[in-house]
Amino acid sequence: MRVLGAGLPRAATTTQMIALETLGFGHCYHMRDLLGDMEGQLPLWEAVMEGKPDWEAIVGKSQSTADWPASRFYKELLEVYPDAKVMLNVRGAEGWAKSMRETVWAVYFGESILRHLCAVRERVDPLWRRYIDVLTWFTWSPENGALAPAEDTFTEEGMMAAMERWNERVKREVPADQLIVWEPSEGWEPLCDFLEVPVPEGPVPRTNDTSAFQEGIIGGAIAQVNQWWDRRERPEEGLHGATSR
């Protein structure tokens, strides 16, 4: 393990992942690893909840990490990999709060279609239910949530303050000579200088905007509900409100 991400979700973590892999620090462990293999990954993160983490099993084959849930545990991972450098990816508070409100936050709170579809998926997809339990514990729970208290994030001021608290915590806990605070708009140079690698050609990539996040989560929920619906026992009579065949 060479680089540990410590930044919050919606702070260009997918851009961070692509940047690290472009610079030769792949594979980069990212939320994609958990969502792409929930059956295999969830038991490992549930063990973290139980105080029995196996970090080697989770990230041991990777050279870097970015995004939740790994960045939530940058401090614990730094104890396992003390020579790793730490990358705190950041963005402006207002832009971050708006992005969070329309994406990650909306999975758990509010009255958006995103929230309601995720709630339905919890009822028909046991893996999604477990995923939500794990991420709630890591992010919002009073005891362990990185952005707790969750109720504070219902205002824009509270959301931005939660971000600032997290970023200041990282700066306080990571030795200054092992930490870079990086925003993609700064370009490759400061990151490459910190990681001691050549600067690649072209700009830093920008990916995973709000609409892409919403499309992925909503599409996944609809797909799971459709699978559940296709497996149901189909009554032949009394179809109140159903369209005619």
Comparing C-alpha atoms, which of 200, 191, 180 is closest to residue 85?
180
d(CA 225, CA 117) in angstroms, rounded, equals 9
pLDDT for 211-244, tens place per residue? 888 999 999 999 999 999 898 887 777 666 666 4
The band of 208, judged by pLDDT with boundaries at 50, 70 and 90, is low
Domains plus CATH for the chain?
3-229 (3.40.50.300)
pLDDT over 90 at 181, yes or no: yes
The band of 187, judged by pLDDT with boundaries at 50, 70 and 90, is very high
Contacts of 87 (CB under 8 A, 6+ apart): 3, 4, 5, 6, 7, 16, 20, 66, 179, 180, 182, 191
In the predicted model, what is the mean pLDDT of residues 171-188?
Answer: 97
In the predicted model, what is the mean pLDDT of residues 153-162?
Answer: 97
pLDDT for 64-122, tens place per residue? 999 999 999 999 999 999 999 999 999 999 999 999 999 999 999 999 999 999 999 99
The band of 210, judged by pLDDT with boundaries at 50, 70 and 90, is confident
At residue 235, the pLDDT reads 77
Neighbours of 191 (CB within 10 A): 23
pLDDT for 23-49, tens place per residue? 999 999 999 999 999 999 999 999 999
Phi-psi map region of 85: left, alpha, beta (phi>0 left; psi -120 to 50 alpha): beta
At residue 245, the pLDDT reads 47
Global pTM value: 0.91
pLDDT for 126-138, tens place per residue? 999 999 999 999 9
Contact 35, 100 (CB under 8 A): no
